[in-house]
Structure formats: structure tokens, C-alpha cells
Chains A and B, each alone.
Chain A
């Protein structure tokens, strides 16, 4: 089974207290291809409708005395106004960010506060409610009449052809509305360059501050621990030595983790090789002692020049992810390793396929060699670049898939 994790989003959702239930997400991801796209679009529309149900029911009760088409039009307008108000709730928008990512495949950088999310939320609620109401009050009755063999009220003819047409129209409407909302979402959630620059500057300032304050203090602690050990010399008893060693190793570990975190924070605007260097990466691994010639194959839809022209953040994150994934693969797994770089309409897709990890390696190696933190690092990198990363741990082999905006 495939697992999708995007730590920042997951955290934002937990903090907001609302999230698309895991089974729904799993169901949505289980289906791929056009069928899956339709299924996800329908779930998305249904969610919009369900979110508006409580308010719509109250509004319908208020409008009960008015009758006919006028009431319907009034109810629709009232629901649209209610959507505009509902979308102001941050908790609802957190849920919407999660829905847009999982069901439309659109990551909303910044969670509930993502620019453009308000507009998408209003559109989603109105479209979802309209579609769900039409399903409930038009499509379902027509199909019901066809199934029970009754005639449509007011029409002499049988309900079967009407039901067939209704179902076809319904399926078409799901795809159409889904595609429309996805297109709107893509335009609305597009990252704003000015915001991105501000975010990078904020990250850099944060990195500097952490470095100066924490890094300095931790370094002083570990140096003094080493000095104390040296000064005590042979006088130190075994328990004292043990405490000193624990003190030194704890401060070293903390510095190591801070080092890694700062490295990631800085990468956003730092320098470093990009995806165009992937050929050299593969060549370098093939030369190495664990790689060996012919063990790694690389296939790319994009030429070196096209890769060099990608967004800098995507390019660097992509390179690091491939570096980590291929290094892990040649070190911890047996058999050939395949690297694929593909272009999708909205993203650059990276894929590293390898055999299963050597049995002894999976547990011991993960903890000892930092393999586990490497996987977390890859996910963090993908999330920071505005993409996501899945790791498919099938018994036949591992597949690391990343999609980065490009």
C-alpha cells in the first residue's frame, strides 16, 4: 500500500482539528487513472455539499412558505451567501486545504492561510451543494422510478431511458465540475513569488538566529564536557565518566540535528547542484565501490537543458531527493536500481525503483546509519519545495516517488 506523507500539511491539519478521514483518503488514492479521477472529483463535490447541509437545511426551513422555482432560486442565493461566510472559518479552510491536496492533487502552501484558498472554498461549497442537491432531488428519483418500474409523474413514457440519460449526464457533470474546480484551484493556489521570497528571507533569518544562539551554546557545552573529561584524567570514577560521556553525546546529537535542520532551511535559497547534474550523480555512483557499472539505469523525458531550466527550488530539492534515494538504494538494497524523470502537466515526477532492502538492513540499518532520518529528510525536502513524496514498500522492492511543482 502506498503511503503519502507531507509533514507540514499533516501538522497543520492536526492543529486545526479537522481532516479528511484517513479511509476516505486511502479510498481516493487506491483508484488510479480516469476512474480514480472521477471518483475523487465526486468525493470532492460530495464533501462540498455535505459541509453546506446544516446551513442549507435551516435556510430551506426559513424559505418554506415561498413556493415554486422562486424558492429554489432564493435558496440557492442564500446558500451562496452562507458559503461566503463559512469560508471565513480557518478550521474549514484547513479542511479545504487538505481536500484540495488529497482529492484534487493541488498542494496549498501555507495550509489554511494559503492565498486563494478562500475563493476556492466558496466555489467548492456552492458547486458541491448544487451538484449534490441535483443528485438527490433529480437523479436519484429518476433512477428510483426506473428501478421500481413506475412511470415518471406527469410523463406517460417509461422512466428507463430518462434514467439512462440522467446517469450519463450525472457522470459527465462530475468530470466536468471536477475538472473546472481543479483548474480554478490551480490558478487560485498558485504560489505568489513575492510571498515565496518573503518566506525564504524569514527562513534564512530563522536559520541564522538558531545558529547563533543555540549552536554556540551547544558547542560550548560539548567542548567543556571534553575538557572536563581531559582534566579529570584517571581520577574520574566510572560513574563520572559515564555521566560525562552521556553529556557529551547528548550535546553532539543535538548539534547534529540542528545542523541537518539548518541545512534544509538554507537550501531554499542556497546553492548546490540541481536536477541537471543527475547524470553525473548516477555516473558517480556507478564508479563507487557499492554501485558498480550497469547497476543504475537512468531514464529522463527531459533533456539536460530542460532540467537546467526548471524552478531552482524544485531542481535542487529534486537532486537531493534522487541523491538520497539512489544512495540508499545502492547501499541497502540488492539488484538493479532504476531512476525515472517524467514531466506531468503540473509537475516533475521522480521515481527510484530498487529491490527490497537486505533483510538484516531494514531494521538495524535504518536506525544505525540514519537511513530512517534520510527518508524523513526526503519528505521534508519535497514538502518544502511545494511537492510531496510517497514511499511504496512492496515486498518485491521499494519505489520512491516524488512530485515537485515545475
Chain B
């Protein structure tokens, strides 16, 4: 299973990944899976949140795979710290269960996505590449299910900001939530990619979101996009 599980850009420097889990069986296993991919490079492993922060300070990776339940410093807190101190490092939260209430909290704290521990190797590799490319939402339907389980009915303080979105921006936000990339949104709305980029930029600005994942999380949170059927 050497080589690539799915298409990745050639000639780009490898994506550096830090694997964080309190169970060595898990960190070793994942490192083995990730190392088989030419475009990925495991820069290290850590077994608690504090060690993970130290490792990122020493040698910032592109992506951190972060377990939630860990001793010393849990993954939730570590994710929030990373979002603040290292905004360019993308965090993928790893969870044993989709029903875990902490997953949604981690998404709000700034994680770029989440992946199930039981995910097949292809999903794990896809998760790292997707959040690194920042072009589309990771596992949009899983995100919707989690949102349906954990969002309340009320509109938060961002509710007011959301009402300032133009009709076009609202459409873009709905398409973002469905997991479409910029190119797909452009095709859907019959506009150019640059136009879509502008719309996405102003949606993020108006919602006060860090990235498209955060924008979608906020949109679910304030009831602007309804997770409904799932």
C-alpha cells in the first residue's frame, strides 16, 4: 500500500503531521498508515495535550491529529490554544464516537474537522489532505449529524451579523455547509471562481469566522443553516 491512496499534487513539499493520542497503539498505528503516503510526513507523536503544544512550538507541523480525552491537558483545551497561538496549524480532532459531546465543542474551539478513530486508512489520509488544502469541508454529512445533535434552537450573538448577509452570500453559505469546494460552488452558481472566493471571504468576515469550517459551524450554531435531516 505504498504510494498514494488518492490523488495528491506532485512536487509539493510533504504535509507535516503531528499525531497526538494517549495510547501508543494508536499513535504507532497511525504513523504507520501516514508514512506509506509519499506526500505526508509524520513529524512526531505526543501522548498528552501539553506535550503536543510543546512539539508544535518546537517544530510546527501543517496538521495535528488530536485525540480529545488525554491526561495532563485534554485535546479540547490544546485545540483552543493552538487556534490562538498557531492559527496556521490545522487541527483534526479524533474521536472514538461521533456521539461524543466534545466533538462539537472542539469544532467551536477551532478544529478544522474531525475524524473517527475507526475510520479506514483512506479516510484518515483524506482528512489530512483536505484540511491542509482548506478548499472544502471535511466529511460534511458527519458534521451535519453532529450539529443536529448538539446545536440548540436559539440564535446567538452572531445572529445579528448573519442577517447582514446578502442573498448571494446566504446561498454560498448553504453550499459551503453541503461541503462544496470553491470550484463546485462556482459551477453551481454559474459564476467565476474569483467571485466565489470574494463571496466566501465576505461570509467569513461577516460571521467573524476563521475559515470555512468555522463559518459552517457558526451557521449551524446560530440556526442559520439547519442541520435538519441526518
Report which A residues bind B (CB closer than 8 A). 211, 215-216, 218-220, 222-224, 226-227, 229-234, 248, 251-252, 255-256, 258-260, 262-263, 266, 270-274, 276-277, 280-281, 283-285, 287-288, 291, 323, 326-327, 330
- Please provide the chain B residues from 1 to 46 with a CB less than 8 Å away from any CB of chain A in the complex: 1-2, 23, 25-26, 28-30, 32-33, 35-36
9 A-B pairs with the lowest CB-CB distances in the bound complex, closest first: A284-B228, A263-B99, A227-B29, A223-B29, A227-B32, A219-B117, A284-B226, A327-B229, A215-B96
Stretch at the interface among B145-153, B156-164, B209-217: B145-153
**Also in contact, A230 and B33, with CB within 8 A (given A326-B229, A327-B229):** yes
B25 contacts A224, C-beta separation under 8 Å: yes
What would 19 more interface pairs be, CB under 8 Å, given A219-B118, A229-B121? A211-B100, A216-B23, A219-B96, A220-B23, A220-B25, A220-B29, A222-B117, A223-B25, A226-B30, A230-B32, A230-B33, A231-B32, A251-B118, A255-B117, A263-B97, A276-B153, A281-B226, A281-B229, A283-B228
B99 contacts A226, C-beta separation under 8 Å: no
B98 close to A (CB within 8 Å): yes
B124 close to A (CB within 8 Å): yes
B229 contacts A273, C-beta separation under 8 Å: no
Set of chain A residues within 8 Å of B30, measured between Cβ atoms: 223, 226-227
Set of chain B residues within 8 Å of A226, measured between Cβ atoms: 29-30, 33, 120-121, 124
Main secondary structure of the interface of A (DSSP, over half): helix
Chain B: number of interface residues, binned into ranges = 35 or more
A103–B227 Cα gap in the complex (Å)? 40
Report which B residues bind A (CB closer than 8 A). 1-2, 23, 25-26, 28-30, 32-33, 35-36, 96-101, 116-118, 120-121, 124, 148-153, 223, 226-230
Set of chain A residues within 8 Å of B228, measured between Cβ atoms: 280-281, 283-285, 287-288, 323
A330 contacts B117, C-beta separation under 8 Å: no
A273–B97 Cα gap in the complex (Å)? 20
Question: Nearest CB to that of A264 among chain B residues?
Answer: B99
A233–B37 Cα gap in the complex (Å)? 11
A344–B152 Cα gap in the complex (Å)? 27
Choose among B2, B26, B151, B227 the residue that contacts A223 (Cβ–Cβ < 8 A).
B26
Nearest-neighbour CB distance to chain A for B23, whole angstroms, equals 6
A334–B195 Cα gap in the complex (Å)? 39
Choose among A224, A273, A291 the residue that contacts B153 (Cβ–Cβ < 8 A).
A273
A223 contacts B117, C-beta separation under 8 Å: yes
Set of chain A residues within 8 Å of B1, measured between Cβ atoms: 229-230, 232-234
A159–B137 Cα gap in the complex (Å)? 85
Set of chain B residues within 8 Å of A288, measured between Cβ atoms: 228-229
**Also in contact, A255 and B118, with CB within 8 A (given A223-B25, A230-B36, A271-B150):** yes
Nearest-neighbour CB distance to chain B for A69, whole angstroms, equals 66
A280 contacts B223, C-beta separation under 8 Å: yes
A234–B3 Cα gap in the complex (Å)? 11
A232–B148 Cα gap in the complex (Å)? 40
A270–B152 Cα gap in the complex (Å)? 11
Set of chain B residues within 8 Å of A280, measured between Cβ atoms: 153, 223, 226, 228
Set of chain B residues within 8 Å of A260, measured between Cβ atoms: 99
Set of chain A residues within 8 Å of B230, measured between Cβ atoms: 323, 327
A260–B116 Cα gap in the complex (Å)? 14
